[in-house]
Structure 1
Amino acid sequence: MSNQVTRRDILQGLAAIGGTSLLATGATSALAQAGKPAAWPTKPIRVVVPFNAGGATDIIARTIGEALAKRVGQPVVIDNRAGAAGILGTDAVVKAPADGHTLLVSLSTSMLINQFLYTKLPYNPQKDIALVTQIAAAPVTLVVHPSVPANNMKELLAYVKANKGKLSYGSWGVGSYAHLAGAYMSKTMDADMTHAAYKGEAPMIQELIGGQLQMCFSSALNTKPFIDSGKLKAIGVTGKERMEILPKLPTIHEQGVTDDAYAIYGWVAMGAPAGVPKEIVDQLYGHLREIAKDPKVLERTVGAGFMPLMNSPQAFRENYQRDMPIWKALVEEAGAKLD
């Protein structure tokens, strides 16, 4: 149940950015045959981020929005609609007109995972969201309070197992990777840890620093300053590749803990309401492909602990189908289910 960034994923992204993807070529031919492209955008573009301002997803959305506005000549407004593990904001997008003026920048949580976590959703991720691009792969760090007597993953697991019912872990929302991975750790170690869900990463990190929590998974954007200052202790990184922003921090996998739950990674992606015309998606992706080359965008993406992808809609759809059974299994293994 591995989901590392593969050579194929990277080649897909590079091919797309270089303008040589089959999808981009096909889209260009189709537009040429149909005449001039549909007029878009004709008014300001709203980008909904279903999480609080200031988080890694929000920063990526604002960076891309700023670059997109310059290219299309229309304002791009970021609309933070946090709540219910990304459901509220995502639902607002799928119910918006499918004219390319309402977009979604979110995590795999609301775009994929929630369909396995919740018994009822107001939208169907597979039918109601048009997949535009995976902006970046999103591995995260595992950090603990300095008082936790563990310096690597194996030591942490031993500590968790020896302190049944005494420890708490945080997440940035129910159903997030931080929740599922923490629940998986608790279950496999028979630790009976308490889960504390927060509205975003920032309050979670402050609680961890304050000692109300013992551990959490979180983006490097939020943890690196406190790792550097010694206020948090870093245990490892998810996925199978080290982060460029934290090159000395080993992955959990390379520490010999090879559970798929820690090798998997989420992603940050862009979507739109289902039914948006292909011509508009092609125009949008054409701009995104160029934006991906912008040094400022690359710097902020890497600085947030992400691995740039910006792949084509077709590559996104293929990866989505590949990832679905993996996330479904993790939700089941974690025993997480919500109404």
Structure 2
Amino acid sequence: MRFPSRIARPIAVAMCALGLAGSAAAQGNATPWPVKPIRLVVNFPAGGAADTLARGISPTLSEALKRPVVVDNRPGANGIVGGDAVAKAQPDGYTFLLTSGGAVAIDPFLYKKMPYDPLRDLTPVASVALVRVYLLVHPSLPVKTLGEFVSYVREHPGKLSYGSAGNGSTPHIAAEMFKRSGGLDAVHVPYKGAAPALGDLLAGQVQFMFDPGPGLQYVASGKLRLLAVASARRAPQFPDVPTLAEAGLRDVDGDSTFGVYAPAGTPPAILERMNREINQALSAASLQESVRKLGGTAEPMSIRAYGERQIADRARYGRFIRQAGITVD
């Protein structure tokens, strides 16, 4: 039945009003978020860079969200154990992952079979920090400069050992880049995280490692010696420390972006809220100081920019891993 225009117009207005009212009612009846504690999984052991960053942002997030943000360390298999736990969690906004860039950009190229697909099963939420890796050596080595160290490794093939946060971790890949670029031979000793690797470096059980920041605190006291940064450019915190490229070791770039992910399917509104709160948390002087002590840089980004950064890192690392033929059983 067709209504006259003088009647149709009020009916249309009324229907629009009802639609708007229904929409408002639906929004009013929607379950608010958050209403309970939020779990922030760290897929590496306590004491490492990812753990330090998680414990740095969690108090500020708790205050902003009015709910506890609880850090839950789930280390194992170079981040796969914790990553899998989050990938399989309910996408309801109460489980997030704070991980290294390597666990997302490197693992898929090293492991023939993973229990989850980082690109499919995890969705980017927010970048936290650009984390660099630094070449640290035990002071028992008779070297004080990068050039002396490279010469020493070359003169003692297979005699030196280096620790890493695990097979396929960013520190491991940086060391492989270093060895391949310089034609060097050293023995890899993988650990279950950067913290235990650092402990053995301090004890002299391994002679060097590419450290994602926690070891820098031991440089001033002479317990460790800082020789270089495995980055495309010098770190602002250490302007006098050379890059490996400056010693002729090209294509050694171990930078990675640590950040937060959620299970795929998490509502976009929750992702946007978390991104906004994390970016705000990164402006706090206390957190920036924590990142600075790690030798990194706070890196607030939009969700889209963070996703694009991880895709670019994945392509860069994947290219090197294929060329070098690196695999993990």
TM-score higher than 0.5 = yes
2:49 to 38, 46, 56: 56
Contact residue 154 and residue 257 of structure 1 kept, 8 A: no
Contact residue 38 and residue 279 of structure 1 kept, 8 A: no
- Counterpart in 2 of 1:197? 190
C-alpha deviation, 1:299, in angstroms = 1.6
1:216 to 209, 225, 232: 209
- Counterpart in 2 of 1:156? 149
- Counterpart in 2 of 1:47? 40
Q: Rg: which structure is higher?
A: 2
1:292 to 274, 282, 287: 282
Report whether the alignment pairs 1:77 with 2:67. Answer: no
How many angstroms apart in 2 are the aligned matches of 1:190 and 1:217?
17
Contact residue 110 and residue 328 of structure 2 kept, 8 A: yes
Seq. identity, %: 36
Report whether the alignment pairs 1:307 with 2:297. Answer: yes
Higher relative contact order (CA 8 A, sep 6+): 1
C-alpha deviation, 1:276, in angstroms = 0.6
Contact residue 34 and residue 67 of structure 2 kept, 8 A: yes
Q: Secondary structure at the match of 1:61?
A: helix
TM-score (norm: length of structure 2)? 0.86
- Counterpart in 2 of 1:21? none
Report whether the alignment pairs 1:257 with 2:211. Answer: no
TM-score (norm: length of structure 1)? 0.84
- Counterpart in 1 of 2:268? 278
Deviation per residue, 1:25-51 (Å, 9 max, x gap): xxxxxx99x967862112110000011
How many angstroms apart in 1 are the aligned matches of 2:274 and 2:222?
42
How many angstroms apart in 1 are the aligned matches of 2:46 and 2:216?
18
How many angstroms apart in 2 are the aligned matches of 1:301 and 1:38?
35
C-alpha deviation, 1:243, in angstroms = 3.0
Deviation per residue, 1:171-197 (Å, 9 max, x gap): 011111221122333344444321101
Q: Between Structure 1 and Structure 2, how many residues are aligned?
A: 305
Q: Secondary structure at the match of 2:288?
A: helix
How many angstroms apart in 1 are the aligned matches of 2:178 and 2:279?
38
Structure 2 regions of 5+ residues with no counterpart? 1-22
1:89 to 82, 91, 103: 82
Contact residue 180 and residue 334 of structure 1 kept, 8 A: no
Q: Please list, as runs of the form range in 1=range in 2, the aligned pairs for 1:323-334 lying within 5 A after superposition.
A: 323-334=313-324
- Counterpart in 1 of 2:222? 230
Contact residue 163 and residue 191 of structure 1 kept, 8 A: no
Indicate how the Cα distance of structure 1 residues 163 and 287 shifts in structure 2: closer, same or farther if over 3 A, else same: same
Structure 1 regions of 5+ residues with no counterpart? 1-30
Q: Secondary structure at the match of 1:229?
A: coil
Deviation per residue, 1:300-332 (Å, 9 max, x gap): 122222111121110011112222221102222
Contact residue 181 and residue 334 of structure 1 kept, 8 A: no
Indicate how the Cα distance of structure 1 residues 309 and 64 shifts in structure 2: closer, same or farther if over 3 A, else same: same
